[in-house]
A and B are shown apart, each in its own frame.
Chain A
Amino acid sequence: MWGTSISLFLLFSPLQVIASEQAQQPFDFGEMSAPNYSLPPLPYAYDALEPYISAQIMELHHGKHHQTYITNLNAALKTQTEAVHTSDITTQVSLQQGIRFNAGGHINHSLFWQNLSPASSPDAKTSAAPKLVQQIKATWGDEDKFREAFKASLLGIQGSGWGWLIRVQVGQESRLAIVTTKDQDPVVGKGEVPIFGVDMWEHAYYLQYLNGKAAYVENIWNVINWKTAEERFVGTQADAFKILKASM
């Protein structure tokens, strides 16, 4: 294969000219541009989750908090691209924690908005997720026991973080698990598919629930989007994350 290419290369002089022109600028990689993420629009109005999550919380959470993660992520990725371009490895390493935090914030919130739904929608009923509910019952016994376990995990978070129902694929076996993550650590492990997440940062509930986070955890069940949950449950990790591609 290589032999064929080389011989062709030698036969046609126009190619040789092009090749030598390129060789004169060995370090020009062309336009170096970092990916630029933008805020994905909410699939519903800011007040659509009331009375369970107030419009004021939603507007600040989406318009300010999520936007700030994206702004900081884009800035860090731009600096990282420059650092890769100039082979500045110390800068690349120093940027990693900031990228993890801000990219995690962007990933988590993008998934979160989609896995919420106005309570009046049929999507907010567990009947929208027949396969997932069957698996939940097989895992925890019944829906109530699952909700109790999920609630206990959420309330056990010490500081800022998230609770997730995830599907874990291990070879042919697929199982459900409740996991909590600290700060903005995203669920991106091998074989892990996020099904739905609940934001346990204080900014997610404080203006409405104050120190009463147990009430927030109770009420959020009214606005879980089970249709999205079912789609993520039967889909792949890449399917769950397709919202991120759409926000580039």
Chain B
Amino acid sequence: MSSTLLRTSAVRSGLRVSAPKAARAGLAGTTFIRGKATLPDLAYDYGALEPAISGQIMELHHSKHHQTYVTSFNTFSEQIAEAAATSNIQQQIALQPLINFHGGGHVNHSLFWENLAPKSQGGGEPPKGELAGKINDAYGSLEKFQGEFNKALAGIQGSGWAWLVQDNVTKDVVIKTYANQDPVIGQFRPILGIDAWEHAYYLQYQNRKAEYFKAIWDVINWKAAEKRLA
């Protein structure tokens, strides 16, 4: 037991030292060497989405909540790599929900910041081209789509996200909701996401979440969404 701990901690400190140099192949600990997740910078100021989303919400949401997902994901990634190296299957399984939650939190928020933009940078300007066509085909109009999307957001029981996703097989777009930090993976690709966790709106809107769902369309970056289409 103690020798295992010793080995683990030696590997760990090795990892910390060598982590930034991801190309150091050939070392005994190669399998542990991987790039760490980092908090992406916002492409706009914290206050730039006002009045739809307050600067205080954006600052906490990005620098605290998202950062915590990043930090925790890195911690549990290290642990699962160690468990894999020691062929500890039970520990790898035990860590999977934590990877899903914190990794999902990192992925979801990274996509979210990108699919928002201040009005001065095109926020709220309707989609064009292929994505506009797919939305019109599926929902009749952008207004009807937004109505359905807001209904989906309001129907989330607890914490979660609503996404416009594209089916990788049929290429159709559809609205789906995901619990907690479950990421859009597998059959679907994320096109546009809106965070329905209370921390995303509570300081400004409290229990009036329908007002947040209505206001956020003013700062949706449809250009970013268009680029995600396959």
For chain A, residues 35 to 91, give those with C-beta under 8 angstroms from any C-beta of chain B: 60, 64-65, 68
Chain A residues in 8 Å Cβ range of B203:
206-207, 210
Complex Cα gap A184–B158 (Å): 8
Pick from B101, B160, B198: contact of A206, CB under 8 Å: B198
Q: Is the CB of A184 within 8 A of B157?
A: yes
B68 within 8 A of A: yes
B35 at the interface (CB under 8 A from A): no
Contact B206 A160 (CB under 8 A): no
Instruction: Report the count of interface residues on A (CB-CB < 8 A).
Output: 20
CB-nearest residue of chain B to A211? B64
Interface residues as binary, B96-114 with A (CB distance below 8 Å gives 1, 0 otherwise): 0100010000000000000
The answer to whether B64 touches A159 (Cβ under 8 A) is no
Whether the Cβ atoms of B180 and A60 lie closer than 8 Å is no
Q: What is the bound-complex CA distance between A210 and B202, given in angstroms?
A: 10
The reply to whether B157 and A202 contact each other, CB–CB distance below 8 Å, is no
Distance, CA A101 to CA B160, complexed state (A):
15
From known contacts A60-B207, A210-B64, A211-B68, infer whether A159 and B199 are also in contact, taking CB-CB under 8 Å: no
Q: A159-B160, A160-B158, A211-B65 given as contacts; is B179 within 8 A of A203 (CB)? A: no
Chain A residues with CB below 8 A from B77, complex form: none
A-B residue pairs, 7 tightest by C-beta: A183-B158, A159-B180, A202-B198, A160-B158, A159-B159, A64-B207, A211-B64
A158 to B104, CA, bound (A): 11
Q: Is the CB of B202 within 8 A of A159?
A: no
A161 CA to B159 CA, complexed, in Å: 9
Can you identify 26 A-B contacts, CB atoms within 8 angstroms? Answer: A60-B206, A60-B207, A64-B206, A64-B207, A68-B207, A101-B157, A158-B101, A158-B181, A159-B158, A159-B179, A159-B181, A160-B198, A183-B158, A184-B157, A201-B158, A201-B198, A202-B159, A202-B202, A203-B198, A206-B198, A206-B199, A207-B202, A207-B203, A207-B206, A210-B64, A210-B203
B145 beta carbon closer than 8 Å to chain A: no
Chain A: minimal CB distance from B98 (Å): 8
A184 to B157, CA, bound (A): 8
Mark contacts of B207-218 with chain A using CB atoms, 8 A cut-off: 1 yes-contact digit, 0 otherwise: 100000000000
Residues of A within 8 A of B159 (CB): 159-160, 202
- In whole angstroms, what is the CA distance A160 to B161 when docked? 13
> Which A residues lie within 8 Å of B43 (CB)?
none
| B46 cross-chain contacts in A, Cβ below 8 A | none
Closest to A97 in B: B157
Minimum CB–CB distance for B165 against chain A, Å = 20
Count of B interface residues, CB-CB < 8 Å: 20
Asked if A145 CB lies within 8 Å of chain B CBs, one says no
Alpha-carbon distance A210/B65, docked complex (angstroms): 10
Let me know if A137 is at the binding interface, CB within 8 A.
no
Bits for A208-227, please: 1 = Cβ < 8 Å to B, else 0. 00110000000000000000
CB-CB under 8 A from B207, the residues of chain A are: 60, 64-65, 68, 203
Q: Across the interface, which residues of B come within 8 angstroms of A64, CB to CB?
A: 206-207
Residue of A nearest to B197 (CB): A202
Residue interface bits A139-178, CB-to-B below 8 A is 1, else 0:
0000000000000000000111100000000000000000
Query: Which residues from chain A contact B181 at a C-beta distance below 8 Å?
Result: 158-159
Chain A CB within 8 A of B60 CB: yes
Report the bound CA distance from A183 to B159 in whole Å: 8
Give the residues in chain A near B179, CB-CB below 8 Å: 159
- CB neighbours (8 Å) of A97 from chain B are 157
| Residue from the list A158, A183, A210 in contact with B97, Cβ < 8 A | A158
Smallest Cβ-Cβ distance to B67: which chain A residue? A211
Chain B residues within 8 Å of A202, by CB: 159, 197-199, 202
